[in-house]
A and B are shown apart, each in its own frame.
Chain A
Amino acid sequence: MSIDVKATPERVQADSDILISVENLHVWFELKKWGFSHVGWVRAVDNVTFQLKRGEAIAIVGESGCGKSSLMKTLLLLNRPHKGSVFFEGQDISNIKGKALKWYRSQVGYVQQDPYGALPPFMPVHRILEEPLIINGVKDKHERDERIRQALQEVALTPVEDFLNKYPHMLSGGQQQRVVIARAMILEPKLLVADEPVSMLDASVRVEILRLLRKLQEEHNLSVMYITHDLSTVRFFSERIFVMYAGKLVEQTHIEELLNNPLHPYTKALLTGTSVPDAANATHLKEVPPGEPPSLVNPPNGCRFHPRCAHAIAGVCDVKEPLHFEPVPGHFVNCWLYEDGRTSFPE
């Protein structure tokens, strides 16, 4: 597969290690009036840059509407970038079409949030798993059957015969999600994009599904992009965590570091908001930032979090966009609080 790439020396050097590289990615949706006149842009993802190594799992957290799903859909090329580029194994995939697109899609698996909605209700399981194989040119019926069985075994839907002819509505939520994962894995992708894969499942099944994803990631040396708004599930298998707010990445670091030392006021708020089953929680209310996430059409000037931020510095946060600081090595944050070199959240 050869795609015309504007390769820079750095990128070529990094090729072997880095699977996906997102550079200044903007995902904007045009707002139109009467179907043609331009009104404005919804800045769902605004100037996001990050890299994902082979075999690495990252988590993207943020509340609903922060742009994490748009980011994910852009990586799946269900949306196209407005500006910026996405490099996959060093090749710019932002505008690929036809065969290249088909090839790229076979390299990326997609696990969705709602397992029931993600499975066509009118197809039995074997047919659901066969579809990606047919589309991607596995012509031999025998080979397809073999791969379907293998995929079902991998997601522990055994005995396989019991599931092959079942329709999605005959399966439990956990089993449905396993079928979704099997479908995502059947083309042996290099990257798995999991969009809140456990948020619709019973608490009892969540751990199993997360363990399954972890196992697959390790066995296949998969890169995983795990999208969630639930910090309590993050630590199960992601190494790095990205916090997203209103279309921007506001904090990136390793999971332990983030949980122990959250730097961005928004991350701090997210962590506070995460429920821990503790009787004490029943008696007092936690402090959460007031207000709603900002409009993505007319985001606030400066830091997009400043209207809700208790620590906002007047004259700075509401004027200038925060720069990328690294107060602790390997821990990046976009917040003016760290301009002075402090290394932990101000009490």
Chain B
Amino acid sequence: MNLNQFRDITRYPSAIAGLIIIFILIGISVYTIFALPYNETVVKWRGGDMVWQDNPRTAPPTWTNYFRSKKLPETLIFRSTDAGIDKQRTPLKDDLTDVYMAFQFDYTADDFPQEIILFFDSTFEQKAPYISLTWITPDGRKINIGDFSIEKTYTRRISQDEKLTKKLDGQPAEIGLFADPNSDVLQPLKGTYTLEVAGLTFEPGSDFDVKTVIYGKVFGLAGTDHLRRDLLLALLWGTPVALAFGLIAAVATSVLTMIIAAAGTWYGGWVDSLIQRITEINMMLPVLPILIMVGVFYSRSLWVILGVVIVLSIFSASIKSYRSIFMQEREAGYIQAAKSYGAGNGRIIFLYLIPRIIPILIPSLVVLIPSFVFLEASLAVLGLGDPLMPTWGKIIDDARTNGALYKGLYYWVLEPSFMLMLTGFSFAMLGFALDRIFNPRLRGM
């Protein structure tokens, strides 16, 4: 094998495209590993509502708006602590204090928001602050949308307020508050809305802060899932996991298979027979059911599954094909010569037999990588994914169990699938080009 052969890659545009994609995937992996540390990610991914409360549920990515005629709203978040918000405190008689703030925003989307929730934080000793909310539409209508007292932390889900729904002609708040009253069809009125939050505190030092979230219907680069989690996190972390799994499995199985085939062929006799029989038995074993059993009964850790995959793939059909090549090579003149000047068995196997097969090994190894990536994804789709790590397969699994396709949430399935296909595609393109470079007989085909 000649390292110069790698330069021939430049003659295959498909290989260059494949290489570029692979480098991008590697770049993403490196970025992810350093920017989003593993432990934090695992905690965050499994963090639940506290971590993800500001995100909409099952929202497609924001960029899908470019392809929509009706633009979907993005999430709007206002905090009373934000710089532009003027929180007016007016002391009244006794310890009574009037707190007033107004959130003003422009609404330009063609669809209604998903949900409106206010999150309150307050400080008081005995008597809780009393809040009154007023909604002012662009056409000047003032709607009282709730009077209530709050607790120290209090979540007001306006969309689920049945009294308000009645007041808005049976429409839930996120629709009723935004609907254009003069339109025949249900559509949001565009313009500047104001939400006034007025509160009374009854104690000295008592105060409250509020975070208003008007959930949109699109989110971020990758959208969110049913638990409001940002899919981007999982897509990013899926990249190093998939590449590592595919690469380790492919390299380990190829190299071990090659060494075992070479040793078996070289020593011959019972060693060879034993390896052949193990291979034949192993080829009959169903890999997927065994992996499912390991996953169900032993461990679903990605690394345990990886180990089992490697062990099951070592004695694969490629032992047979490598053996047939080694059988020819074993009789080659230079092997005889090496024996005649005293080369030992190990030296002949590693320095004389194996280099001969590397040109065949490299392309097949590259093509093998995505098949292991797909295997990992398949296991995750079957519910045997790693319980901690977010991976592409697990996104698909979540999408499946939550009826994503039935509900029309195509992005949820397509994004991880796209990443999987991109990975497979890039390695396949590179592998096929390498195959042609290393095996010149294929060039004409």
Contact check, A105 vs B355: say whether CB atoms are below 8 A apart: no
Name the contact of A112 in the complex, choosing from B2, B333, B351 (C-beta under 8 A). Answer: B333
Contact check, B340 vs A108: say whether CB atoms are below 8 A apart: yes
Contact check, A122 vs B356: say whether CB atoms are below 8 A apart: yes
Residues of B within 8 A of A78 (CB): 336, 339-340
CA distance A120 to B336 in the complex (A): 11
- The answer, yes or no, to whether B233 is at the interface (CB within 8 Å) is no
Contact check, A120 vs B340: say whether CB atoms are below 8 A apart: no
Name the segment of B168-176, B341-349, B378-386 touching the other chain.
B341-349
Contact check, A105 vs B341: say whether CB atoms are below 8 A apart: yes
Bitwise interface map of A from 17 to 54 toward B, beta carbon under 8 Å scored 1, else 0:
00000000000000000010000000000000000000
Contact check, A136 vs B337: say whether CB atoms are below 8 A apart: no
Residues of A within 8 A of B338 (CB): 120, 131
Q: How many residues of chain B have a CB within 8 Å of chain A?
A: 20
- The answer, yes or no, to whether B20 is at the interface (CB within 8 Å) is no
Contact check, B1 vs A102: say whether CB atoms are below 8 A apart: no
Bitwise interface map of B from 128 to 149 toward A, beta carbon under 8 Å scored 1, else 0:
0000000000000000000000
Q: Which of B340, B344, B355 has the most CB of A within 10 A?
A: B340
- The answer, yes or no, to whether A263 is at the interface (CB within 8 Å) is no
Q: A interface, how many residues as a size bin?
A: 20 to 34
Residues of A within 8 A of B340 (CB): 76, 78, 105, 108, 110
Residues of B within 8 A of A113 (CB): 333
- The answer, yes or no, to whether B332 is at the interface (CB within 8 Å) is yes
CA distance A167 to B3 in the complex (A): 12
Known: A122-B1, A135-B347, A167-B2. A117 touches B341 (CB 8 A): no
Known: A110-B337, A117-B332, A118-B333. A135 touches B1 (CB 8 A): no
- The answer, yes or no, to whether B352 is at the interface (CB within 8 Å) is yes
- The answer, yes or no, to whether A119 is at the interface (CB within 8 Å) is yes
- Interface set, chain A 74-119, CB cutoff 8 A to B: 76, 78, 101-102, 105-106, 108, 110, 112-114, 117-119
Bitwise interface map of A from 163 to 176 toward B, beta carbon under 8 Å scored 1, else 0:
00001000000000
Bitwise interface map of A from 49 to 81 toward B, beta carbon under 8 Å scored 1, else 0:
000000000000000000000000100101000
- The answer, yes or no, to whether A270 is at the interface (CB within 8 Å) is no
Bitwise interface map of B from 1 to 38 toward A, beta carbon under 8 Å scored 1, else 0:
11000000000000000000000000000000000000
- The answer, yes or no, to whether B267 is at the interface (CB within 8 Å) is no
Residues of A within 8 A of B337 (CB): 110, 112, 118, 180, 183
Name the contact of A122 in the complex, choosing from B333, B336, B339, B355 (C-beta under 8 A). Answer: B355
Bitwise interface map of B from 318 to 354 toward A, beta carbon under 8 Å scored 1, else 0:
0000000000000011101111111110010001100
26 contacts between A and B (CB under 8 A): A35-B273, A76-B339, A76-B340, A78-B339, A101-B342, A106-B342, A108-B340, A110-B337, A110-B341, A112-B333, A112-B336, A117-B332, A117-B334, A118-B334, A118-B337, A119-B333, A120-B356, A121-B356, A122-B2, A122-B356, A131-B351, A132-B341, A135-B343, A135-B347, A180-B337, A183-B341
Q: Which 4 A-B pairs have the closest CB atoms?
A: A117-B333, A118-B333, A132-B341, A110-B340
